[in-house]
Each structure stands twice: as structure tokens, then as C-alpha cells.
Structure 1
Amino acid sequence: MTYLNPRDGLVVPPGGGRTVHAAAQQVTFKVTGAHSLAASSFEVVVPPGFDVGAHAHGRSEELFLLLDGELDVLAFEPKVRTPDWRDWESREGRTFLRATPGTLILVPPGCPHAFANPTGRPARMFFQASPPPEHEHYFEELLDLLNADGGIDHDAVAALRLRYDIEQLTPLRHLPVEVATP
């Protein structure tokens, strides 16, 4: 998908885009740096138990819209950065919240943020990062790391994140999940 004419728009039909997988994790690139100077856009499937870990970007702004499922999320600077971001509290008394479909999260550069899927079913979100194309390459490399042997090499993830201007505050990990009730 590239522009034939730089003044033409882009229409990505349902199921369109380029998809990459790692175990149950899936990222579909909808709009890339080849299409937009403003932002890259993705559809992301967050598997049960996946915790991206708290982190912050020096230059990037991110926007998340939860489409399906539930995620625990936060986007604030805590009073104290502890090893588990679920224990964090903002100066105003905010803590993480359980996001449901329709929840939007806007993360400015430098703002610590995290999300995790503690439920027994996948969550799906629309994700936009500005400026492109940094996140496109980051996702491809991260999913390659997660595909390597099924485990998480925390040192490799930390090194990857440093290369992409991501300050890792708590580790990326897989957690035990709640059993979803019908």
C-alpha cells in the first residue's frame, strides 16, 4: 500500500494491512511511514496475560482506542515508581483502571504508561504513534524477539527499547490471567 499520488488518500478495508505475529500477539500495520508523515496506525491484539510493562517515549506521542476486550491501563507520572506499575498512584490519587471498549488513552512524549491484559480472552485495540515510522520497525523487531524461543529475554527487550527511544520502567512480561466468566 503506497500512494500513487501524494494528494490521494488511503483506504484500508477490513482485514487489510500487513500482519505480523508472535505467539498469540498480532500487529496489523494499517498506515505506515510510507503513507503518512504524521502518524503510523496499527491494530494490535493483546493476548491474555501480556503486560507491556511501564515505559515512556522521549519523542513519540501515542493514542490507543480499545476496540474489544479489557485491559488494565495507566498514563501518568507516579508519585513513586515501584517495580509493579499496578501499585502506582499519581499525585492526584489516580491509579490504573480497567479499560473497556471505547476507552481512549492519549500519551504525550515523556509520560509513563502501561497496559496489560489480565483477562482470559484477547483484547483488540487501535494504536497510533507519531511520528512514523519508528514504531513500525520496533514492533517487527519486538515480535521477532518474542518468537525466538517462547520466553522473554528481558535484556534483549531493554536493549531494543533503548534503540527506539523507549525508557523501560517495569519489565514486559506474561502474567497469570483471570478466568473470564460468561
Structure 2
Amino acid sequence: MQATPAALVVQPGEAATLSLTDGEFELLTDGGAVSASRLTLATGTDGAPPHHHALSHETFYVLDGTMVFRLGDTLTTVERGGLVIIPPGLPHAFGAAQGEKADVLVVLSPGIERFAYFEQLAAISRGEAEFASLHSEQDRYDVHLADIPNWRSTPGR
């Protein structure tokens, strides 16, 4: 007889939380079928540097506020209730829109254990680590940094 698979339930307050300079990162689950987190961003704050994933799809559901996404060469604004699914290989960046706060659920599938990566991002945001420290970890966390200096500007302008 096969064992019945168990569901994962994360109750409020059970997730690991990291404080960022201008927001908060709540890691709901890491690795396995999915990695899921909730990211709250202060007004106009960047969420992640430009990057792509070689293996994972990244899905964003905007719980509140307004987000801006750089998806390849396109800038897109997404309001509360909007959904964005980014396929592997597409360079992207995201953050709260100018003049707006944002609260977003982020799901990566398949999941890859990335909590140490997020801890490093939090340390960088607080000025406790250098951004260059991420370069050697790109393959391990399937977060491949992209050289897009001003990602919020429309390409060609």
C-alpha cells in the first residue's frame, strides 16, 4: 500500500522572515515542487536585480499595490490582482512602481533551495555585504544575473 502524500500547510507567523532596507521577505517554502515567498516593498523599491532562471518558471501574483516588471525588452506595470508568469531564460527585474508600495506572492517551479540567496540579498540591501558576492552563487541558486544597468528605463530611450 502506498502512503498518502502529505500536504504542506504554512500558518501565519510560521514562515522565515527577512527584513530588507525597504521591505520584508517572507519565505513560505523552499525547494521541492515549488519555492514560494511573499515580498512587501516600500514605495518605488526594487525587488531584485535583473536576472533570469535557466530551470524555473517564476510566477508573481500582485496582492496589493502596483508592480513594474522588466520582461526582456518590455516594461509592464501590473496592479493588484494581476499575474505574471516568466519562463526560464527570460531576463527580468521587478519592483514597486514609482509612488506605489507593493505586496506580491512569488512562486518558482520547480523549487530550488534559495533561502541562503535571499539572506545574502537582504544583507546586501542593508549594506552588510557586497553585490559581487552573488556572482559565484548563480548556478547554485539558478539566479543568473543580467547586465541591465537601468532596468526601469524603456530600451532604446
Using structure 2 for the length normalisation, give the TM-score.
Answer: 0.77
For residue 43 of structure 1, what is the amino acid of its counterpart?
R
Could you tell me how far 1:162 is from its partner in structure 2? 5.8
- Residues 73-152 of structure 1: pairs in structure 2 closer than 5 A: 73-76=69-72, 88=73, 95-149=74-128
Q: Which amino acid aligns with 1:26?
A: E
Letter in 2 for 1:49: G
Identity %: 28
Partner of 1:46: 41
CA contact (8 A) 2:22 2:45 kept: no
**CA drift at 1:158:** 4.1
Q: For structure 1, which segment, 103-112 or 160-169, has the greater mean C-alpha deviation from structure 2 after superposition?
A: 160-169
The match for 2:29 is 31
Asked whether the 8 Å contact 1:61–1:129 carries over to 2, the reply is yes
- State how far apart, in whole Å, the 1-side matches of 2:94 and 2:85 are: 13
Q: Which residue of 2 aligns with 1:10?
A: 8
- Give the partner amino acid of 1:67: L
Q: Which has the higher strand share?
A: 2
Q: 1:58 aligns with which of 41, 54, 59?
A: 54
- Decide whether aligned partners of structure 1 residues 148 and 162 sit closer, same or farther in structure 2, where only a CA change above 3 A counts: farther
Mapped partners of 2:6, 2:108: distance in 1: 21
Query: Structure 1 residues 7, 74: closer, same or farther in 2, change over 3 A?
Result: same
Q: Contact 1:27/1:44 (CA < 8 Å) preserved in 2?
A: yes
| Matched position secondary structure for 1:70 | strand
CA–CA distance in structure 1, aligned partners of residues 138 and 40 of structure 2? 20
User: Across the two proteins, how many residue pairs are aligned to each other?
Assistant: 148
Q: Distance in 2 between matches of 1:6 and 1:20?
A: 33
Distance 1:53 1:170 in 2: 9
In the alignment, the residues of structure 2 paired with residue 10 and residue 163 of structure 1 have an alpha-carbon distance, to the nearest angstrom, of 25
> What SS class does the counterpart of residue 9 from structure 2 fall into?
coil
User: How far apart, in 2, do the equivalents of 1:106 and 1:46 lie?
Assistant: 19
Query: What secondary structure sits across from 1:69 in the alignment?
Result: strand
Q: Deviations over 1:44-78 (max 9, x none)?
A: 112223222322111222111111111111334xx
Q: What CA RMSD, in Å, does the superposition of the two structures yield over aligned residues?
A: 2.7
